[in-house]
A and B are shown apart, each in its own frame.
Chain A
C-alpha cells in the first residue's frame, strides 16, 4: 500500500467542496427565480390596479 494512499481525507474534502459550491449556486438560481416570479406578479397586480 502506497503511503500517499492515506490522503483520502483530502480527496473527500475536495469532492465535498465541489458539490457544496454547485449546490449553493443552484439554490441561488432557484431562489432568484422565485423572487423574480413574485416581483412579476406584484407588478402585474399594481398595473391592473392602476388601470382601474
Chain B
C-alpha cells in the first residue's frame, strides 16, 4: 500500500508540474485578456473537481443513510473537506481574475452568488461535523450533504438560465462558445493534475477519519473498562 501511495504521490507531482508548464508557457496567450486569462487553467479545473467531490459526498451520504456504514461516513467527510478547499480556490481565483477584466472584484450575479452559497453549505457541513457531538451528527451531516448537493446543478446551470456577468460556458454554450484546441490541452492536463491531487487528499483524509473513529471507540472502551474495574 505504501508503494502504491508513493507512486501516486510521484504521479501527482509530475502531473502538477506538467499542468503548470502547460498553463504558464505552452498554452497560447488569449487575444483580448492577455496573460491574466491563464488563471482560467486553475480556476475551471478546481471548480470541476469541487463539483465531483460534492457528488462523492452526496453518494456517500446516501450510502450512509441506507447502511450506516463507517466507511461511507468517512468518505463523506473526506470529500466534503477536500471539496471545500477546492471551492475556496474557485471563489478566490475568480475575483482575482475578475478585477482586471471586469473592473470589479465581485458582483451578485447568479453564478457567483450560487457558488458562494455552495461554499457556505459545505462549510456549515464541516462546522457541524467538527463542533456538534452525539450519535446523530453523521445522520444530520448526511442529510445536509444530500440537500446541499442540490446547489451544484444550480451553480452549473446558472450561466445558462440567467444573464450573468460571468462568461458563458466553454462546453455546450452554443454558438461562439468553446476554446482553442491548444487551450484544451492546458485545461485537461490541469484537470487531471487537480483530480489526482484531490484523490490523494481524499485518500489520506478518509484513512484519518477511519482511524479517528477507531480511536473514539477505543477511548470509549477504555473508559468503560476503567469504570467496571472501579465498581469491582
Which residues of A come within 8 Å of B, CB atoms? Answer: 2-8, 10-11, 13-15, 17-18, 21-22, 25-26, 29, 32-33, 36, 39-40, 43, 46-47, 50
B89 in contact with A4 (CB, 8 Å): no
5 contacts between A and B (CB under 8 A): A7-B36, A10-B96, A25-B201, A29-B208, A43-B215
B229 in contact with A4 (CB, 8 Å): no
Q: Considering the chains assembled together, what is the distance between the CA atoms of A21 and B36 in angstroms? A: 20
Given A11-B38, A36-B208, A26 contacting B89 (CB threshold 8 A): no
CB-nearest residue of chain A to B214: A40
List chain A residues, Cβ under 8 A from B26: none
Of the residues A6, A13, A43, A50, contact of B219 by C-beta under 8 Å = A43
List chain A residues, Cβ under 8 A from B218: 43, 47
B211 in contact with A4 (CB, 8 Å): no
A5 in contact with B34 (CB, 8 Å): yes
List chain A residues, Cβ under 8 A from B211: 36, 40
Name A's interface SS. Answer: helix
Q: Considering the chains assembled together, what is the distance between the CA atoms of A38 and B208 in angstroms? A: 13
Which residues of B come within 8 Å of A, CB atoms? Answer: 29, 31-36, 38-39, 42-43, 46, 82, 85, 88-89, 92-93, 96-97, 99-101, 197, 201, 204-205, 208, 211-212, 215, 218-219, 222, 225-226, 229
Q: Considering the chains assembled together, what is the distance between the CA atoms of A29 and B222 in angstroms? A: 26
Q: Considering the chains assembled together, what is the distance between the CA atoms of A29 and B5 in angstroms? A: 15
A29 in contact with B201 (CB, 8 Å): yes
CB-nearest residue of chain A to B225: A50
Tell me the smallest distance from the CB of A13 to a CB of chain B, in Å: 5
Of the residues B38, B46, B204, contact of A29 by C-beta under 8 Å = B204
List chain B residues, Cβ under 8 A from A32: 208
List chain A residues, Cβ under 8 A from B226: 50
